Amino acid sequence: MWKGENKGGKAIPNIPLMIAVQCLSYTITNIRKQHNKAAFFNTFYFATTIRPLGLCTLDHRTPYSWDPPGHYKHLKKVITTQQLHTHRSQDWSFKTLRKLITDRDTITAIPSLTTEQCTTVWENTASPTLTNKHTEIAWMAAIRCLPTRYFMYSRGIARTARCPHGCRESETEEHILWWCKVAQDIWLMISAFLTRLTGSAAMTLQSILFGPLQGLRSH
Ligand SMILES: [Zn+2]
């Protein structure tokens, strides 16, 4: 389970959730198939949780626990937090649950941009035309955590927030990427190349921070 790159994630697996969903899928399959001894424990502790989901029936001649151990309670919590109780299918395989959870992920919002623009920004940051380093920097720019002096100073990592190029201003993202004279010189030097790359001569701070909102060209 991980948030996709095109939704603002970093495609880093959420290992605890992945293990919990795998365990949930295994437990439910076991209860329904009764194909090994562990199935009796699973049924005793977890059948009362999955019966309301229509995944099994209770045999009232056998005992059930209404106060299961912690890990079963955790699986119950996973059903609630991931809203799996709305999954009406009988297919509770890990693959299906993973797809369900991943599909439901929402786009991470970026302040001042619309949802469609955010979608384009995340697609830009995950563009196959970028190298890993570029992707990393583009992602940091989108979530506004580039290691500028201002960012580091506000977290007690740098001694000063001042721009190191002799400007009298704080080195914020806006400054380092746009207002600083060094940045302006660099943009001027590569403006012809950027125009060819993006198809537009109009460069703004927003297009530098988030990539062109009409998307990147792949050629
Ligand atoms: Zn500067």
Tens of pLDDT, residue by residue over 88-118, are: 888 999 999 999 998 888 888 888 888 888 8
What pLDDT was estimated at residue 78?
Answer: 93
Going from the C-alpha of 140 to that of each of 13, 121, 159, the distances in angstroms are 19, 12, 22
Cβ neighbour number for residue 13 with a 10 Å cutoff = 9
* Strand (E) or helix (H) holding 189: helix 181-198
* Ligand 1 midpoint to CA 109 (Å): 29
Q: Which of 17, 15, 138, 139 is nearest to 77 (CA)?
A: 17
Distance between CA atoms of residues 42 and 29, nearest Å: 10
What pLDDT was estimated at residue 219?
Answer: 46
Q: What burial class does residue 206 get, using C-beta atoms within 10 Å of its C-beta: 0-12 exposed, 13-18 middle, 19+ buried?
A: middle
What would you report as the CA-atom Rg of the chain, rounded to the nearest whole angstrom? 25
Domain ranges of the chain: 5-103, 115-210
Q: What burial class does residue 135 get, using C-beta atoms within 10 Å of its C-beta: 0-12 exposed, 13-18 middle, 19+ buried?
A: middle
* Ligand 1 midpoint to CA 178 (Å): 9
For residue 137, what are its two tokens? Answer: 């920097």
Per-residue pLDDT, averaged over 23-38, amounts to 89
* Ligand 1 midpoint to CA 170 (Å): 8
* Ligand 1 midpoint to CA 160 (Å): 13
Distance between CA atoms of residues 193 and 212, nearest Å: 14
**pLDDT digits over 157-182, tens only?**
999 999 999 888 999 999 999 999 99
* Ligand 1 midpoint to CA 150 (Å): 12
Distance between CA atoms of residues 141 and 132, nearest Å: 14
8 Å CB contact between 34 and 27:
no
Single pTM value for the model: 0.68
